[in-house]
A and B are shown apart, each in its own frame.
Chain A
């Protein structure tokens, strides 16, 4: 299992469009990818659920990735967060 923490930089937080792009990215991999904010954890493939976390600028989320292709998935998802959020 791999994981990373991330503090959101985007003005709007994790709003609809980036959330949708996370889903697209996550669906490319076999691994189970989860996003946690506070006490709530959702799958990175669940668009409305990610949006319902209501992650705002300056808030921290943690992402865990587990599965056969977790290394590739980690690289892709982590850089997606860095570049888009």
Chain B
């Protein structure tokens, strides 16, 4: 039993096996070798290990999903046993005197190309299988764990750091918790952990040999225990049970209105990051979606998502929320959210750089596609549009002008859409200072407290060393929020908060007294915020 500590993101406990995630190697290099015989032996060893892995997967899948679902692993075993494939690897090693990783990569490429070029849809797809087995062997040779698709049971994910493009591809149902070496309490991983309501620790001195070991993450104490002793495990299980009971109590609040004892009403909306989050939002009684982060559409794909792909996603959410408000935030990439095909330059200062509305207003083609998709989806529910990272009235006017042009085009094409509410994120001090003028331009404000705190306090939220200085309760931040609410109301705009602070129940009373109209939080916090609201009496 070994114990390590880090900074905890969420107060919860998880027990599970560790999966040590390593970043994918970009490309396999063509390394020259002297001893080709040794490389041949390495290949044979790796092939044997791969066969063993596949056999295990095959047997597991047979038990859990039946023969037809398991067949793919059997096919992989057969493919890996193919004489021509193995001969090709041997030949390349011997004739070019190169490392076996390289020989395997080239062989895999050649054979998958052969299938990709076939005039048969079924055989075309086999190209992916060849790539799969090739990658499996290379990962064994280089000793990297990247593929979570083999996982059948849920795991605790341990990694250096995780980029949004990596987490977006993970099967969320297989995650029990995160433990990372880097990242700050405001980084993407932390936000994801809060959204998923699983414990996460950052700043932990992680070790590769943890892979496959049983561990307990304790989000209350900020510790991870590897190979826990029997009594420690028992204690952890007891704590988990108590947490579940607490949740059960909160569930009784479902269907109850979010009203204070003196009758002040506040709208409780959910933040979602993908279509699949809608279920949890509804389950936890969300009155609407206060922040639909549309980035996932861009992060999940290899190229700009088409208008129809976007339309489908927005439409699904609109329909599922059945007339409840859904606020879609237009594309907010840049800074920590990088997307390869945007070809964004490396920046000294990405948080202050080319991101969000700044990209949209200079890449109008991308922006128009998204606006058109949102407008078309508006016919199926109650959608609103929100622009991020606003600093001036001119930006809002420009964005609205483009929106109007897109509407005109739809009208000309006889495509149906509804009038949507338009709002802006208030997340820069500039937007706060201009909030009175901005309110005249829009229907609503939504305060993004994470960025507003970062920009107000001049603290990079990606830098873990600054976590101690990053104080979202700083009076400067709270005054910014107060000013925004007052100016918003003066100009006829309703005002919500969609940052992490919205779920901080120690501030719920402060926000309500300021007159905040809506709080939008991760679904998992909806009921605890409601509990807090219902316990308040603002008349006192």
Interface residues on B, range: 20 to 34
- Let me know if A61 is at the binding interface, CB within 8 A: no
Q: A48 vs B118: C-alpha distance in the bound complex, in angstroms? A: 12
Q: A13 vs B115: C-alpha distance in the bound complex, in angstroms? A: 15
Kindly provide the distance from the CB of B466 to the nearest chain A CB, expressed in whole angstroms. Answer: 54
- Let me know if A56 is at the binding interface, CB within 8 A: yes
- Let me know if A7 is at the binding interface, CB within 8 A: no
Q: Interface size on A (CB < 8 Å)?
A: 18
Q: Is the CB of A47 within 8 A of B115?
A: no
- List the B side residues contacting A56 at CB < 8 Å: 120
* A-contact 0/1 string along B111-142, CB 8 Å cutoff: 10011001110110010011000000000000
Q: A24 vs B82: C-alpha distance in the bound complex, in angstroms? A: 11
- List the B side residues contacting A15 at CB < 8 Å: 122
- List the B side residues contacting A54 at CB < 8 Å: 118-120, 123
Q: Restricting to A51-69, which residues have a CB under 8 Å from any CB of B?
A: 51-52, 54, 56
Kindly provide the distance from the CB of B75 to the nearest chain A CB, expressed in whole angstroms. Answer: 5
Chain A, residue nearest B88 (CB): A48
Q: A16-B126, A46-B83 are in contact. Are A52 and B118 (CB under 8 A)?
A: yes
Kindly provide the distance from the CB of A30 to the nearest chain B CB, expressed in whole angstroms. Answer: 16
- Let me know if B84 is at the binding interface, CB within 8 A: yes
- List the B side residues contacting A16 at CB < 8 Å: 75, 78-79, 126, 129
Kindly provide the distance from the CB of A14 to the nearest chain B CB, expressed in whole angstroms. Answer: 10
- List the A side residues contacting B467 at CB < 8 Å: none
- Let me know if B417 is at the binding interface, CB within 8 A: no
Q: A47 vs B84: C-alpha distance in the bound complex, in angstroms? A: 8
- List the B side residues contacting A46 at CB < 8 Å: 82-84
* B-contact 0/1 string along A30-59, CB 8 Å cutoff: 000000000000000111110110101000
* B-contact 0/1 string along A6-18, CB 8 Å cutoff: 0000001101110
Q: Is the CB of B81 within 8 A of A47?
A: yes
* A-contact 0/1 string along B316-349, CB 8 Å cutoff: 0000000000000000000000000000000000
Q: A46 vs B86: C-alpha distance in the bound complex, in angstroms? A: 11
Q: Is the CB of A17 within 8 A of B71?
A: yes
Kindly provide the distance from the CB of B91 to the nearest chain A CB, expressed in whole angstroms. Answer: 15
Which of A19, A45, A51 meets B83, CB within 8 Å?
A45
- List the B side residues contacting A19 at CB < 8 Å: 78
- List the A side residues contacting B122 at CB < 8 Å: 12-13, 15
Q: A65 vs B307: C-alpha distance in the bound complex, in angstroms? A: 56
Kindly provide the distance from the CB of A81 to the nearest chain B CB, expressed in whole angstroms. Answer: 18
Which of A12, A13, A20, A48 meets B114, CB within 8 Å?
A48
Chain B, residue nearest A24 (CB): B78
Q: Restricting to B178-213, which residues have a CB under 8 Å from any CB of A?
A: none
Kindly provide the distance from the CB of B101 to the nearest chain A CB, expressed in whole angstroms. Answer: 21
- List the A side residues contacting B129 at CB < 8 Å: 16
- List the A side residues contacting B111 at CB < 8 Å: 48
- Let me know if B85 is at the binding interface, CB within 8 A: yes
Q: A51-B123, A51-B126 are in contact. Are A20 and B118 (CB under 8 A)?
A: no
Chain B, residue nearest A45 (CB): B83
Kindly provide the distance from the CB of A13 to the nearest chain B CB, expressed in whole angstroms. Answer: 7
- List the A side residues contacting B83 at CB < 8 Å: 45-47
Q: A12-B122, A48-B114, A52-B118 are in contact. Are A17 and B84 (CB under 8 A)?
A: no
Q: A51 vs B114: C-alpha distance in the bound complex, in angstroms? A: 10
A-B contact pairs, 23 of them (CB 8 A): A12-B122, A13-B122, A16-B75, A16-B129, A17-B71, A17-B78, A19-B78, A20-B74, A20-B75, A23-B82, A45-B83, A46-B83, A47-B79, A47-B81, A47-B83, A48-B79, A48-B82, A48-B84, A52-B114, A52-B118, A54-B119, A54-B120, A56-B120
Q: Please name 10 further chain A to chain B contacts, defined as beta carbons within 8 Å, in addition to the given A46-B83, A47-B83, A48-B82, sorted by A numbering.
A: A16-B78, A16-B79, A17-B74, A20-B75, A46-B82, A47-B78, A47-B81, A48-B85, A51-B123, A54-B123
Chain B residues in the interface with A (C-beta under 8 A): 71, 74-75, 78-79, 81-85, 111, 114-115, 118-120, 122-123, 126, 129-130
- The 10 A-B pairs with the shortest beta carbon distances in the complex, nearest first, are A20-B78, A47-B82, A16-B75, A54-B120, A48-B82, A54-B123, A54-B118, A46-B84, A17-B75, A17-B71
